[in-house]
Chain A
Amino acid sequence: MTETGTPPLDNVSQLLARWGSGDKAALDELVPIVYTELRRLARSHLRRIGGPQTLEPTALVHEAYVQLADQSSISFENRAQFFGLAAKVMRDILVDHARRRHAAKREGNQLQVSLSVADRIGNKPAVDLLALDLAMQRLAETGSEYSRVVELRFFGGLTIEETAEAMNLSHATVERYWSFARAWLRRELGS
């Protein structure tokens, strides 16, 4: 007899709740689950849609949420938390991807298959993600809420409304922060 592990679907809500009530260990458990789910969804999107062009990160995050969260017991706060978490994970993934891509180019290595696929599709990120990430870190040192808005909007693909929900801010404030953070980052990146 072997004991079967608890499927992730059952405990995401609980983990979110624990995380919400200040249990940092819950986050360590949550990240891999969200990460795996986002990856799985991204891949199935890629296959279904035939290319990354039409994939909206926001759709991905919503789908991940629906898949992962136990709808009946999820609270409103959980939902906002989840979006925030998903955006954070997405940022990590993207920046990590950009870093490896950058390293591969620097070393003159042949890029990995999937990367060369990306190259063939002509899929260039509109922004240097590594530089953006560093600039966001600098911004976060003095104004973490501005950086957070960018994370949710740009990496999480959330709307102003959803961002407001996730950060517990007013719609107008999010718009203001967003506008400011963009200008600030743009100046830093010179783009």
Chain B
Amino acid sequence: MKTPGDIRRLEELFSQAVRLEGEERVAFVAEVQTSDPDLAAELASLLEAHGRDGSFLAAPAHEVVALAIADAQPHFAVGRTLGRYQVVAPLGRGGMGEVYLAEDSQLGRKVALKLLPGRYTDHKSRLRRFIQEAKAASALNHPNIITIHEIGDSDGTHFIATEFIEGDTLRRHLANGRLAVTEVLDIAIQIAGAIEAAHEAGIVHRDIKPENLMLRRDGYLKVLDFGLAKLTEASTPPEQGLDSQNATAMMNGTRPGTILGTPQYMSPEQARGLELDARSDIFSIGVVVYEMTTGHAPFTGDTNMDVAVAILEKESPPLTQFVPDAPAELERIVVKALQKDRRQRYQTVRDMLLDLKALKEELAFDERRVRSRGPGTNTASMAANVMTSEHRPHAVARPDHRRLAVGLIVLALVAALAIGGALLWPRPQPASVPPAGATSAPERSLSYWILVQKYRDGKPYQDPIRLRDDINFEKDYRLRLNVASSQSGYLYLLNEGPELDGGTPSYVVMFPTAATDQLSARLEGNEQVQIPEQSWFRFDEQAGTEKIWLVWADHAVDQLEAVKHFANPRDKGLVADAGLRAGIDEFLKSNSSSKPLVERDDDNAETALRANGDLLVHVIKLSHH
């Protein structure tokens, strides 16, 4: 045991020795050695340590200091009373303040208390806007939106008291790794449901991220912090785009109009500091869905600036790169939500919600089918899934066309007349479809494309154009579906409508049509069908997704042959018989699990389908807003 005197002596010797060089220093230590060998040994070890390379303690622990401090447990508020709330324990830190478990002394219930730092509450009008919005969201009484009990202040400390949720943030939940697709959908549907309700009330969240999504133990999800982003944004959003100065300012957080913290969930327009609308939230939901599926965010980088650049410029790697069995439909949904140009994105979160729900039901159906090896009884239903074609007189058969068809699309409940025509003519085999019959294994191939007539104010404008089927159509667009194949076979097209009583969806026969020779589904090789021939399909007023089943078989399909006679002017394609509907349903869903290979050719907006076997079943989804 050394005494203070010993260490002082040691320090004095050390200080003398370090001023000496080489042999002088050696001699100095040797001299100490003669009088006090222990001290000399210690001195030598200190000189050795002193002489090592490196920068031991040279610079203060800059790197860790700020994070460590920011992370330190905020325990000073514990025991404090704010208004009628007694702070019990820290719960964690939100994006914008500490969160505590507190007890409401009046009502004797637990609440979560978030303290808002003064720098966010100094701006009175901003604070007022935030309070207004947060309360409005809470007032929606949506099961997936957190309930706010009170927004108040006590001795200048602003706080928000909300329901206390026992559970984890999605961030914490994701710390265990990526989620199964079914769970991804469960959570995504709840997020989208909450955000949809908020958007309908005119509230944009602006800061959707895993930290703001709370998962209750029973699986319920709650979206937190509505309106909170309002506190940090500018009162007048800047109009200029991203230049380096802006970007730097943004990353420094000095620029109003941007959310502070990680940019990973920001939309491109948010990263640019532009004015936001509901579509910004759609992008953020897309990022969260991507992260839940793959375990990491789609846009990453070492610095916030790198992340922002990725958001603005890079395409996210496909889900299947990380999750090989991710459903193609989920990929499509994510891609559509993550479009850089918000005009290309889902236009409403409702559209996204419908797709998510449809996919969930599809997967649940597949699951049930696999389990029971029998037909599903409670089949998928599509909301707002009604397509009407324009009311137009029957297409007149033209002599130079071998066949004529009339497509009849009907609403289930609203009586809207729909008559169209389908025109068939020979067409060369599309290049993207490999010739059939080249190999011994049977294969079905076909391609289709959508011809769109833009309409504004009830009038067509521009020439019709081809568009990919996976965009979000405007509701005023009119369309025709074109189908072609080098093969001969039997083609059936059915529009799936809302669920009717009995649990099966309604089905409308789109092809064959009454104008087809004796309602024949038979096509010769290299025939092309245009449905309808002269009129156009029109979307229902309500936004949603049309589901069109396409069946391409090398033989006549009994269940579908049995219903094609409904494609007459009286029934307008609507399959009126419940038993026959169940038959269709069973057939479609039991054959939809082996998905055809889908190839989209961007140049001419054509989609090529290919499936092994003698039957190809595919759903064309046309979403519109």
Contact = CB atoms under 8 A, between A and B. Distances in A.
Interface extent on B, as a size class?
35 or more
A176 interface: yes
A57 B61 contact: yes
A91 to B, nearest CB: 10
Main secondary structure of the interface of A (DSSP, over half): helix
Contacts of A24: none
Contacts of B46: 180, 183-184, 187
B172 interface: yes
A164 B439 CA distance: 88
A115 B175 CA distance: 12
B260 A127 contact: no
B253 interface: yes
Contacts of B252: 48-50
Given A53-B63, A186-B49, A142 B4 contact: yes
A114 B61 contact: no
B304 A50 contact: yes
A161 to B, nearest CB: 15
A52 B71 contact: no
A185 interface: yes
B548 interface: no
A178 to B, nearest CB: 9
Contacts of A35: 72, 76
Nearest to B64: A125
Interface string A104-126: 00000011111111100101111
Nearest to B232: A47
Interface string B446-474: 00000000000000000000000000000
A121 to B, nearest CB: 8
A55 B66 contact: yes
B107 interface: no
Interface in A34-59: 35-36, 38-40, 42-58
Interface stretch (B6-14, B273-281, B337-345): B6-14
B562 interface: no
A183 B50 contact: yes
Contacts of A154: 57, 60-61
A184 B54 CA distance: 15
Contacts of A125: 61, 63-64
Interface residues of A, number: 70
Contacts, number: 182
A180 B15 contact: yes
Contacts of A184: 46, 49
B303 interface: yes
A143 B71 contact: no
Nearest to A38: B69
Contact of B66 (A46, A150, A185): A46
Interface in B244-265: 251-254, 260-262
B48 interface: yes
Contacts of B56: 126-127, 182, 185-186, 191
A32 B49 CA distance: 37
Contact of B11 (A55, A114, A118, A177): A177
A79 interface: no
A38 B54 CA distance: 29
8 contacts: A44-B119, A46-B66, A51-B303, A97-B71, A115-B67, A117-B67, A127-B57, A142-B7
Given A126-B56, A127-B57, 12 more contacts: A7-B156, A46-B67, A52-B64, A98-B68, A110-B172, A129-B61, A143-B4, A143-B7, A155-B61, A176-B15, A185-B57, A187-B49
Interface of B: 2-4, 6-8, 10-11, 14-15, 18, 45-50, 52, 54-57, 59-74, 76, 93, 117, 119, 155-156, 171-172, 175-176, 211, 251-254, 260-262, 302-305
What are the 7 tightest A-B residue pairs by CB atom distance, in nearest-first order? A97-B68, A42-B69, A110-B175, A187-B49, A183-B50, A157-B60, A52-B66
